[in-house]
């Protein structure tokens, strides 16, 4: 599974994310993850998402650049909260991002070298619907 990181100013967005995902995938089955702060979404067959709240403590180990940290500080001067979405299907996560970005002020780190505001990320998706960001900056 791949993952994408959402950076937001609010700590209580899991219910909003559930609602957004349910709008995109009305037949998806959402299950809270026992003992964890998050939920799983079974969409179809082996296509699923895992959404987790990571809190505020990961900035040091994520390897963000000074520019990325400055962007976070600019957008969220009072502090930020991290949400991670693990996904199997690129098309599935694209739909989720478009819906979530419409309702929340967030930054997106796609774990492949792209770090943008949600609006800019969605604009890139709209301009190039077949964008496979996994090929943009291959991991070493």
Residue 7's CATH number? 3.30.310
Answer yes or no: pTM beyond 0.75.
Answer: yes
The per-residue pLDDT for range 21-33, each reduced to its tens digit, is 999 999 999 999 8
Domain annotation covers residue 121: yes
CA 42 to CA 47: how far, in whole Å?
A: 6
Domain annotation covers residue 74: yes
Domain annotation covers residue 75: yes
CA 28 to CA 25: how far, in whole Å?
A: 5
Split at pLDDT 50, 70, 90, the class of 85 is: very high
Domain annotation covers residue 131: yes
| Domain that residue 23 falls in | 2-135
Q: Tell me what the mean pLDDT of segment 93-100 comes to.
A: 93
Tally of domains in the chain: 1
Domain annotation covers residue 140: no
Q: In the predicted model, is pLDDT for residue 79 greater than 90?
A: no
Split at pLDDT 50, 70, 90, the class of 59 is: low
Sign of CA pseudo-dihedral 22, 1, 119, 37: positive
């Amino acid at each position: 599974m791949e993952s994408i990181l959402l950076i937001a100013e609010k700590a209580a967005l899991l219910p909003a994310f559930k609602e957004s995902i349910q709008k995109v995938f009305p037949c998806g089955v959402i299950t809270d993850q026992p003992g964890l702060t998050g939920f799983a979404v079974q969409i179809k067959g082996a296509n699923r998402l895992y959404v987790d709240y990571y809190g505020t403590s990961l900035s040091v180990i994520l390897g963000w650049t000074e520019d990325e940290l400055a962007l976070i500080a600019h957008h969220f001067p009072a502090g930020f909260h991290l949400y991670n979405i693990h996904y199997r299907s690129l098309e599935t996560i694209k739909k989720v991002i478009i819906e979530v970005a419409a309702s929340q002020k967030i930054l997106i780190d796609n774990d492949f070298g792209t770090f943008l505001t949600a609006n800019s990320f969605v604009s890139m998706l709209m301009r190039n619907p077949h964008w496979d960001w996994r090929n943009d900056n291959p991991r070493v």
